[in-house]
Structure 1
């Protein structure tokens, strides 16, 4: 089972950065990048932030639940998000990857214009399959990448340099897309890595993704086994984002958590929800359609947190005939319906 649904071990793990002339000093310079566009940002009064309408929100949650009769969906007693929330008023369709590598996802495989042509076709397909839910495109960029070697600090991860993150932002700006910065901590921690991205996360359209697969709490190098994140880790990320929203009067942030095994997320009942952050558990497994459905039904549906996502692999989902890339019409039958779609 794991062999079929385990995402590809990243080519980057074994050295694509070396061909870009990486040095240890470049990793250090990524710690405190000079973000000139945010130098003058000031804290604003949260009193202007209001929750959304309760009735409308409940109606949309019921629509997403899609007739689920288990009592798990929609998630009950969740806080109302603040005004400006993306979910569940929209569905996000994202292209995932890293600009250094064609092997990490479709985002780095094509030049920006061609990438956008492909992504817009996916957003149009979802708009046709579900006219009730407007679609927002997104760029999901891996900003901290797990490594197969320890580098100088022994953390087995590489922080992308500022110019690479800026390039992802520029690509997103071509069509006013959302941006997700994804973090693979390796032997580091979310407490160390997330603050490095703060000045980007202060941008209203920039959100966060975290990948338990490459969180190696026992010291095993990434790619050797599947990692894990606990509710405590997820709560740290959520609280960090919530504080930014509160302090700078930002619209609610989205937090994407990848998952394709039970052990990737532990103590899910302890995950805390807030009006400032919307949490999506993204089904990240690849393989034939029945295997992807099984992963969703075994690890996403039974442990409800707030919203769900679904990842599609252009290559790994279609390797063997008659396998095919699941369509929007097929995924609309899921209970609950995913509000975030990610293409790799």
Structure 2
């Protein structure tokens, strides 16, 4: 029995000095040593981001601003909505030509109210929209078609407007949604908005049941996402609007990190009579500043019987600080 086992062992095991394929251990070690070390692509991306950030910081320190930055040299005035939905705002409520004629008058009003700063027109399209139905993956959000997004951008180019693509994540999150917009954000006229009102992942309920929330880490993710696109495509800084009208919509605001490649606008998004709107601006925007401020006006909800009315540019400019982004819904 012992002899049988010995013969079997010899038949299946290679000798100590060679492999069955004829390659010696020394030769194998030499081949292994010659192989390049695996590349940590994530570490390279992080290093590149840091290098680009430091470069941007140095330019800002030397010149006060990155080339092509919109704020604070211009005041952005935007029409908001969805070009495929009449109920979401002025942007889709009226026929295109009629809407732009109205927009031209609004731009002129703002330019007259503050001639010291040029007005930059913008169209702000809700591109990923919270939904009442869950959809196939249960995330309660729906993205505009490629054709619709391209049409929005074309509208912007036809009327010398910049374009904001706005994101309502539903039960999804920014990490899973923002990459869908990257091809469009490579266009220098395209910027982004994020809306915590419909960010329901931490709430665990469908949109519309409660007011949602973003934390500083979510805003920081959006900033890093946009900063990378700016660096990789040699673009001017992007503008990021963050909607807000309650305390809980943004948590840990002091942890939001600014980057010269992204200009952050904390945007007062509430509706009602002017006193309420001004109080909300003071409580959630003025008292918790990040970088730049915004203010929304509602054609439908603000325009109620007295004391309700749509605030005039002069009234809005009386706020402290003066908003640099104005949005009409």
Bin the TM-score by the shorter chain. 0.7 to 0.9
Bigger radius of gyration: 2
| Equivalent position of 2:163 in the other structure | 179
Is residue 2:199 matched to residue 1:215? yes
Which structure: greater helix fraction? 2
Displacement of 1:53 in angstroms is: 7.7
- Whole-Å Cα distance in 1 between the matches of residues 184 and 107 of structure 2? 25
| Equivalent position of 1:247 in the other structure | 232
- Whole-Å Cα distance in 1 between the matches of residues 229 and 60 of structure 2? 19
| RCO higher in structure (CA 8 A, sep ≥6) | 1
The structure 1 segments of at least 4 consecutive aligned residues displaced by more than 4 Å after TM superposition are 45-50, 52-55
| Equivalent position of 1:262 in the other structure | 247
Is residue 2:60 matched to residue 1:84? no
- Whole-Å Cα distance in 2 between the matches of residues 250 and 276 of structure 1? 9
Is residue 2:129 matched to residue 1:145? yes
| Equivalent position of 2:220 in the other structure | 235
SS at the partner of 1:103? Answer: helix
User: Which residue of 282, 296, 304 corresponds with 1:297?
Assistant: 282
Q: Contact 1:254–1:279 (CA<8 Å) still a contact in 2?
A: yes
- Whole-Å Cα distance in 2 between the matches of residues 173 and 112 of structure 1? 14
Q: Contact 2:60–2:260 (CA<8 Å) still a contact in 1?
A: no
1:1-344 paired onto structure 2 within 5 Å: 51=59, 80-216=64-200, 217-344=202-329
Q: Give unmatched runs, 5+ long, in structure 1.
A: 1-44, 56-79
- Whole-Å Cα distance in 2 between the matches of residues 54 and 117 of structure 1? 41
Displacement of 1:101 in angstroms is: 1.3
Distance 1:231 1:53, change over 3 A: closer
Q: Contact 1:81–1:277 (CA<8 Å) still a contact in 2?
A: no
SS at the partner of 1:51? Answer: helix
Q: Contact 2:217–2:256 (CA<8 Å) still a contact in 1?
A: yes
Displacement of 1:100 in angstroms is: 2.0
Q: Give unmatched runs, 5+ long, in structure 2.
A: 1-50
- Whole-Å Cα distance in 2 between the matches of residues 258 and 159 of structure 1? 19
Distance 1:304 1:153, change over 3 A: same
SS at the partner of 2:326? Answer: strand
Displacement of 1:157 in angstroms is: 0.3
Displacement of 1:321 in angstroms is: 2.5
Q: Contact 1:81–1:252 (CA<8 Å) still a contact in 2?
A: no
Q: Deviations over 1:232-280 (max 9, x none)?
A: 0000000010011111110000000000001000000000001100000
* TM-score normalised over the length of structure 2: 0.81
